[in-house]
Amino acid sequence: MSGSKITLTRRGRLNVPKDPIIPFIEGDGIGPDIWASAVRVFDAAVEKAYGGDRKIHWKEVYAGEKANARKEGDWLPSETTDTIADHLVAIKGPLTTPVGGGFRSLNVAIRQRLDLFACVRPVKWYRGVPSPVKKPGLVDMVIFRENTEDIYAGIEYLHGTEENEKVKSFLMNEMGATQIRFPDTASLGVKPVSVEGTERLVRAAINHAMSSKAKSVTLVHKGNIMKFTEGKFKEWGYALAKREFGAEDLDGGPWQVIDNKGREIIVKDVIADAFLQQILLRPAEYDVIATLNLNGDYISDALAAIVGGIGIAPGANINYETGIAVFEATHGTAPKYAGQDKVNPSSVILSGVMMFDYMGWKQVGRLIEKGLKGAIKAKRVTYDFERLMKGAALLKCSEFGDEIIKHM
C-alpha cells in the first residue's frame, strides 16, 4: 500500500513522515459505527491542519470477531500485533471477550503481547457535558496505570485443578501459609509487582509531568495492607524519583520535590481507598497519577464518570522504550446498539487526539477538540448527552462526527 512507516530514531523519538501508515482495528459491536464517524473526523482535521501536505494511510488489521470470521478460533492473529509493532502507532475500537477458553481479554492480550506497560488515561471535563458532580471542571488529571503486572497478569489457578492443589500445597506445607481461610474450596491467584515494572511506569509519569504544566505526581497504592507488592511500588517509585530526577525530601519526607528548571513538581503518595474519596472532595490537588493495574482500572472509570462517562474517555497503551503505542476506545462493545448509528464516538475520537499529539501533529488534535467543544456548546449531541441536556438536538453517531467537523 502507499504511505510510509513511522520509525524510531536512535534517541528514542518518533520519526513521523508526512504520509504515515497507521494500522487500525475497527472493533466489535458498535466498533464499525464509531470508527466510521471517527476516521472522517481524523481525515478532515489533518486536511484542515495541513492543507493536503500530510495524509494518514489507514491499514486495517484484525482482532476480535472479524479475525475469528477470517480464521475460526484465531481472535488475535500474530500478524496483527506484528504489524502494529512494525508501524509503531495504531488505534482500535472496542473488542469482545471470547466466550469459553482462550483469552481472558483481547485488550489485555494486546497490551501484554506488545509489552505496552503504560495505560495512559487523560481525564478532563468539556464545558457543557452533563456530569453528576457540581464542579467537574476541577478534574484535570492524567492516569498512568501499570499495564502488565499485578493480578491482571492472569496467573490464576481454579479450585479443583491439579495446578491449584500444587500451589496450595506449596504455600501451606512448604511456606507455612495459614491465611487461606477455606483451603478446601479456594481458587488462588498471584500478584507480581516488580522493580522494573514499577520504575518504567513511574519514570513515564514523571517525564509527562515535567513536559506538561503538572504540579504533582501521586503514587496511588494499597501498601498499608499489601506491603511487599503495593507498598514496594510506593517505595520504588520514591527511590526512582531521587535517583533519576534529583528529587529531595519535602519537609523530611516521604513526599519529595523535583526542581524542574525552576518549577517544582511534588511527588507524593496516597492510599487507594482514600484517593477515591479525594477525587470527589479535592480533585484539584491531583495532576498526574501513577498506580498499579487494578487500582488504575477502578480509578480511571470513577474519574470518567465525574466528567461525563466512559463514552467520552480516551485512552492509550504505550511502551515509551520501544515507541509502540495503541490508542483505543475505553468503553465496551455495547452489542445491543451495534449497527444503529446511535452511540457517542467521542472516546475513540479523543483517543485519536492523543494519537496525533503522540505523533507530534498537535495542530490536528487541537482542531478536533475545538470541533468537539463546538458541537457540545451547540447542544447537537448523541443520545447519551441529549437525554441529560435541556434543549439539546439528538444526532446519530455519524451526524455527531459531521458536527465536530463543522465546528473545527
Per-residue pLDDT, 243: 97
Domain stop point among 252, 279, 307? 307
**φ, ψ for residue 160, nearest 5 deg:** 95, -10
Domain stop point among 278, 307, 336? 307
On whether both 165 and 261 belong to a single domain, the answer is no
On whether both 140 and 274 belong to a single domain, the answer is yes
Question: Which of these, 8, 1, 45, 47, lies nearest to 24 by C-alpha position?
Answer: 1
CB 58 within 8 A of CB 24: yes
On whether both 217 and 298 belong to a single domain, the answer is yes
On whether both 382 and 253 belong to a single domain, the answer is no
CB 326 within 8 A of CB 122: no
The predicted-structure confidence for 199-219, as pLDDT tens digits, reads as follows: 999 999 999 999 998 999 999
CATH number at residue 281: 3.40.718.10
On whether both 264 and 366 belong to a single domain, the answer is no
Q: Which domain holds residue 160?
A: 156-189
On whether both 113 and 23 belong to a single domain, the answer is yes
Per-residue pLDDT, 97: 80
On whether both 137 and 219 belong to a single domain, the answer is yes
Question: Which of these, 186, 179, 254, lies nearest to 223 by C-alpha position?
Answer: 254
| Opening angle at CA 331, ends 81 and 350, nearest 5 | 80
Given phi > 0 = left and psi -120 to 50 = alpha, else beta, which region is 360?
Answer: left
Q: What is the DSSP string of 321-353?
A: TT--EEEEE-S---GGGTTSS-S--HHHHHHHH
Question: End-to-end distance of the chain based on CA atoms, in angstroms?
Answer: 30
On whether both 178 and 203 belong to a single domain, the answer is no
The helix (H) or strand (E) run that includes residue 257 is: strand 256-260
On whether both 204 and 89 belong to a single domain, the answer is no
d(CA 293, CA 298): 9
The pTM (predicted TM-score) of the whole model is: 0.94
Pairing of strands 14-15, 156-157: unpaired
* Residues taking part in catalysis: 152, 222, 273, 297
Domain total for the chain? 3
Give the per-residue SS3 of 274-293.
HHHHHHHHCHHHCCEEEECH
On whether both 198 and 340 belong to a single domain, the answer is no
On whether both 274 and 364 belong to a single domain, the answer is no
Per-residue pLDDT, 99: 64
Residues of the chain scoring pLDDT < 70: 99-103
On whether both 101 and 18 belong to a single domain, the answer is yes
The radius of gyration computed from the CA coordinates of the chain, to the nearest angstrom, equals 22
